[in-house]
Structure 1
Amino acid sequence: MGIAASELCQHVIRPTLIYLGRHSPTAEALLLGAAASQSALGSALGDPHGHGLYRISERRHRQLWDQHLARDPDLASLVRGLASQHAFLAAPELELRVNLRYATAIAWLLVESEQPLLPAADDLHGLARIWRHVFQPQGRLRDFLQAWQHCVAEQYRAA
């Protein structure tokens, strides 16, 4: 069983986006849908193609640091502040598996680095298109929509 969508949003996604100065209802919904689609909200964290809630690959993680965060030292410092002091230096990808706020920050910055035109928070097809573009290029929009219905829809409305 994964994390409840309402709990993930309230205790991880929303505070992380606020901390980064990037909070919006659309960002929350997109990250919830991505976590639902990628790992069933944490039910399936082991995957050879990516780490943690959002199944971010080591290559994408490093590219984000090298090509996006390296150009914005203030933002890099904020993100680094979410990571463990010593573990991050030894195994940065481990943070994607064990540190929900760090993984959420990286996931959002992967979205942001693509500079998509964000849809309304309730435009599930628009969110699915961004998910497919950023997280799962071979994915099907219906995979996102089904994961949303299965993992998020009822719990998220209650939040």
Structure 2
Amino acid sequence: MGIAASELSRYVIRPTLMYLGCHCPTAEALLLGVAASQSALGDALDSRRGHGLYRITESRHQHLWDNYLALDPDRASLVRGLASQHAFLKGPHLELTVNLRYATAIAWLLIEAQGSPLPLANDVLGMARIWRQTFQPQGRLRDFATAWQNCVTARQQLA
């Protein structure tokens, strides 16, 4: 069983988005849905498909740093501030697995780099389209919707 959706939002996603200066209800819901779709909110944090809650591959991580964050040194410094001081230098991709706030920032920046307009926070299919565009190009919208139902809606009803 992964992380409780409400706690992931409250203690990881929301503070990270606020730290980056880009918090809004849709961004928070979208990242929660991505974590649900990619890893069932952390049931397994590392696989051949990618690292951490958001299943980010090493190549996508590197590409984001080289082609997006490198163009904005202030933003890069802000994101680097979330990473472990010494561990990041030895194994930057491991941060995606062990550092939830860093992984959340990287996941958000992958979405931001796509430049797609955000749907409303309750538009599950709209969020699914962004998930597919950013994280799973071959993904099915219903996979996102099912993960949302199983990991977010169902767990919130149990709480």
Q: TM-score range by the shorter chain?
A: over 0.9
Q: Distance in 1 between matches of 2:98 and 2:124?
A: 28
Amino acid at match of 2:15: P
Say if 1:26 and 1:120, in contact at 8 Å, map to a contact too.
Answer: yes
Q: Specify the alignment match of 1:9 in structure 2.
A: 9
Deviation string, structure 1 residues 90-117 (Cα, Å, up to 9, x no partner): 1000000000000000000000000001
Amino acid at match of 1:52: G
Q: Specify the alignment match of 1:29 in structure 2.
A: 29
Gaps of 5+ in 1: none
Match of 1:44, SS? coil
Instruction: Give, in angstroms, the shift of residue 155 of structure 1.
Output: 4.0
Q: Specify the alignment match of 2:128 in structure 1.
A: 128
Deviation string, structure 1 residues 28-49 (Cα, Å, up to 9, x no partner): 0100000000000000222102
Identity value in percent: 71
Match of 1:30, SS? helix
Q: TM-score, normalised by structure 1?
A: 0.97
Instruction: Give, in angstroms, the shift of residue 89 of structure 1.
Output: 0.5
Q: Distance in 2 between matches of 1:19 and 1:29?
A: 17
Q: Specify the alignment match of 1:43 in structure 2.
A: 43
Instruction: Write the mapping of 1:1-159 to structure 2, written as runs, cut at 5 A.
Output: 1-156=1-156
Q: Which stretches of structure 1, 4 residues or more, deviate above 6 A after TM superposition?
A: none
Deviation string, structure 1 residues 36-84 (Cα, Å, up to 9, x no partner): 0000000022210200000000000000000000000110011000000
Amino acid at match of 2:86: H
Q: Distance in 1 between matches of 2:157 and 2:82?
A: 28
Q: Distance in 2 between matches of 1:21 and 1:108?
A: 12
Q: Distance in 1 between matches of 2:60 and 2:108?
A: 13
Give aligned pairs, total: 159
Q: What's the Cα RMSD here?
A: 1.3
Instruction: Name which structure has the greater RCO, CA cutoff 8 Å, separation 6+.
Output: 1
Say if 1:116 and 1:130, in contact at 8 Å, map to a contact too.
Answer: yes
